[in-house]
Structure 1
Amino acid sequence: MNQRNSCFSNFGSFRKFSSSTEDAFRRFRSFANGEQFTKRFVDSSLQYTVSVAYSPKDRLKNNMSDDDALNAKNVYESPTGEDNYILAYTEIGIIIGVLDGVGGWSEQGFDSSAISRELANKVTIFYLENPSSSPLEILQKSFAAVKEEGTVKVGSTTICFGIIDGRTGKLSALNLGDSWFGIFRKDENSRYKCTHQSVEQVYYFNAPYQLSIIPDDFLEIAKKRGSKYLMNEPDESEEYSYELKSGDIIVFTTDGMVDNVFPDDIEIYLNDNASEGVNLSESLGSLNKILVQQTTVLSLNTNFKSAFSQKLSSLTGQDYIGGKPDDITSVMVYVK
């Protein structure tokens, strides 16, 4: 873990969080790659270890617009690329999730990371201020606030996140687009299996549902051309609800991971690396970070039969092969 100033104070093997919402917001929005925390709740037999890991894809800065070059917050300086993460807790629960800014806007000279970053900020602060709200309520308020604030001029993003009730262990989640979450639970043979997962929402192959901010003049030009932009609303999200159990591992990740590996592959990885005797309360950050790193290596392998290439082959009837380079962000939770 990187050593730096923090509003956490050491308290045994755990860290005690400042009561200030502002301090909490700043801390949760600046987690290091592979960093983790463990949270226990009053009147609950469960505890949760949470980590975030990420790997931005390589980008050529010579495609950057002059405006972006002057902007300290752009996709080239973002540690998560066009992706972003949601990670925070209160005294009644935990929120976790991922967002993926649609990269097509960067080809037109816009910062495609702006909307995922600003929406992640708003979701985090709305949760910290209103932890009893549902995921959909938080997303509705957050997206409305991003649009009203006007910081994001143009952009689109997918989003997938959930809230764990600290007392009951219930996970309430939603997904809009092609990011993903899955719950991995041990079967009767003590092998991890993906027992529950989200379903992608797409218009067609590689065209996911997305929350979009499009200027009126863009919409007018598209209308004259007989075309339109992909624009969805928060209430088009698919909602999920599950009871978590001790031993579960939950993964929220962007399509950079699931375009390359299948849930079956993640099962194999967890069974090889999170077996009996491994203390995940201490090593979850490493487990998550290595998963992201290994997936990144596969994404750059031109001889690898990625999930994306297999889907494309199935759709076209032609033989495609190769990984799909992309930003990868993963938020992982271990329930004990």
Structure 2
Amino acid sequence: MLAGSYYIPKYNESKPLGEDSHFICAEKQTFGVADGVGGWAKKGIDPGEYARELMDNAVFAIEDQPMGGVNPMAVLNEAFLNTEAQGSSTACILTLKGNVLHAVNIGDSGFVLIRDWKIVYKSPVQHRRFNCPLQLGNWRDNPSMAEELKVGVIPGDIVVAGSDGLFDNLYESEIEELVSQGVNDGKFPADLASTIAQFALINSMDNCAISPFTIAAQEAGVEFIGGKIDDITVVVAYIASPDY
């Protein structure tokens, strides 16, 4: 699994690092995404601090895991127990074991699996209500609320993971098209992640767009039109043959 990433924090002078965080551990074939819940800012707490500490602790936890045997749930549990920052965050951690992608996910960060330019799997979203995802935190949910997922993969498959800033602003068909074009153009994972993130950013700033977030809002009885301005994290991973 060859992975690369791109991150666009929404502009905020007081929070230049944004509220998302992520990591890629190529040696252990594992990566993760977290999105600090923005509501904490109303209490004077930087939502990104929890997400960053959670992902840092996930990397430390992975170091203790055996090669080819990373357990995403165990990693998430250890990271959660060692995170002391105030706040809360969604989280998605994925690892490749042989021909199976193992993942643990809580909230509305997540991933899609693309095969032959079509999305064949999308991780479930966990919401309490519209725009309020399940979230890890010392006063919120814990890893027992997370879903463990297993998806078979074959060489040539592509994984696109990200925070809700990605999925709220790009339709599945748009992600499929961007991936198809990017791979045909010979883009490396990080370059493709950048392209996808930039398109999500453009859509997020379109006040007239009928975005995925617009549709979700309307289904919840909330009046909203346009993209959703948010931090945007994208991780792209190419599934290669074992002898690549």
Deviations 1:101-126 (A, max 9, x none): 00111122111111100110010111
| Match of residue 106 from structure 1 | 41
Q: CA contact under 8 A between 2:205 and 2:228: conserved in structure 1? A: yes
Gaps of 5+ in 1: 1-47, 62-75, 187-191, 215-230
The one-letter code of the counterpart of 2:108 is D
| Match of residue 128 from structure 2 | 203
Q: Give the root-mean-square deviation of aligned CA atoms.
A: 1.5
Once residues 5 and 178 of structure 2 are traced to their aligned partners in structure 1, the CA distance between those partners, rounded to angstroms, is 17
**Cα 1:109–1:317, aligned 2, differ >3 Å: closer, same or farther?**
closer
SS in 1 for 2:41: helix
Deviations 1:1-49 (A, max 9, x none): xxxxxxxxxxxxxxxxxxxxxxxxxxxxxxxxxxxxxxxxxxxxxxx32
**Cα 1:156–1:195, aligned 2, differ >3 Å: closer, same or farther?**
same
Are 1:301 and 2:206 matched, yes or no? Answer: yes
| Match of residue 82 from structure 1 | 19
Once residues 213 and 128 of structure 1 are traced to their aligned partners in structure 2, the CA distance between those partners, rounded to angstroms, is 24
Are 1:331 and 2:240 matched, yes or no? Answer: no
What's the offset of the Cα at 1:273? Answer: 2.9
Matches of residues 281-300 of structure 1 in structure 2 within 5 Å?
283-300=188-205
Deviations 1:131-182 (A, max 9, x none): 3341111111111111xxx4x1x201000111112xx132100110011101
**Cα 1:99–1:317, aligned 2, differ >3 Å: closer, same or farther?**
closer
Q: How many residues align?
A: 238
Once residues 294 and 317 of structure 1 are traced to their aligned partners in structure 2, the CA distance between those partners, rounded to angstroms, is 25
| Match of residue 4 from structure 1 | none
| Match of residue 93 from structure 2 | 161
2:220 paired residue among 315, 320, 330: 315
| Match of residue 62 from structure 2 | 127
Q: TM-score w.r.t. structure 2 length?
A: 0.92
Once residues 50 and 196 of structure 2 are traced to their aligned partners in structure 1, the CA distance between those partners, rounded to angstroms, is 26
SS in 1 for 2:76: helix
The one-letter code of the counterpart of 1:77 is P
| Match of residue 160 from structure 2 | 251
Deviations 1:202-222 (A, max 9, x none): 1111110001124xxxxxxxx
Q: What percent identity do the matched residue pairs reach?
A: 30
The one-letter code of the counterpart of 2:135 is Q
Once residues 105 and 124 of structure 1 are traced to their aligned partners in structure 2, the CA distance between those partners, rounded to angstroms, is 24
| Match of residue 74 from structure 2 | 137
Are 1:266 and 2:182 matched, yes or no? Answer: no
Q: TM-score w.r.t. structure 1 length?
A: 0.68
Large movers: runs of 4+ above 4 Å: none
Once residues 317 and 130 of structure 1 are traced to their aligned partners in structure 2, the CA distance between those partners, rounded to angstroms, is 44
Are 1:171 and 2:101 matched, yes or no? Answer: yes
2:9 paired residue among 56, 71, 74: 56
| Match of residue 25 from structure 1 | none
Deviations 1:244-295 (A, max 9, x none): 21111101100001111122220122223323xx434xx2221110110111
Q: CA contact under 8 A between 1:96 and 1:252: conserved in structure 2? A: no
Q: Considering Cα pairs closer than 8 Å and 6+ residues apart, tell me whether 1 or 2 has the greater RCO.
A: 2
SS in 2 for 1:51: strand
Q: CA contact under 8 A between 2:70 and 2:95: conserved in structure 1? A: no
The one-letter code of the counterpart of 1:58 is Y
Once residues 222 and 89 of structure 2 are traced to their aligned partners in structure 1, the CA distance between those partners, rounded to angstroms, is 30
What's the offset of the Cα at 1:317? Answer: 7.5
SS in 2 for 1:164: strand
| Match of residue 182 from structure 1 | 112
SS in 2 for 1:53: strand
Once residues 126 and 243 of structure 1 are traced to their aligned partners in structure 2, the CA distance between those partners, rounded to angstroms, is 25
Q: CA contact under 8 A between 1:184 and 1:196: conserved in structure 2? A: yes
Q: CA contact under 8 A between 1:89 and 1:128: conserved in structure 2? A: no
Once residues 141 and 60 of structure 1 are traced to their aligned partners in structure 2, the CA distance between those partners, rounded to angstroms, is 32
Once residues 109 and 197 of structure 2 are traced to their aligned partners in structure 1, the CA distance between those partners, rounded to angstroms, is 15
Once residues 114 and 135 of structure 2 are traced to their aligned partners in structure 1, the CA distance between those partners, rounded to angstroms, is 26
Once residues 77 and 193 of structure 1 are traced to their aligned partners in structure 2, the CA distance between those partners, rounded to angstroms, is 35
| Match of residue 220 from structure 1 | none
Q: CA contact under 8 A between 2:9 and 2:16: conserved in structure 1? A: no
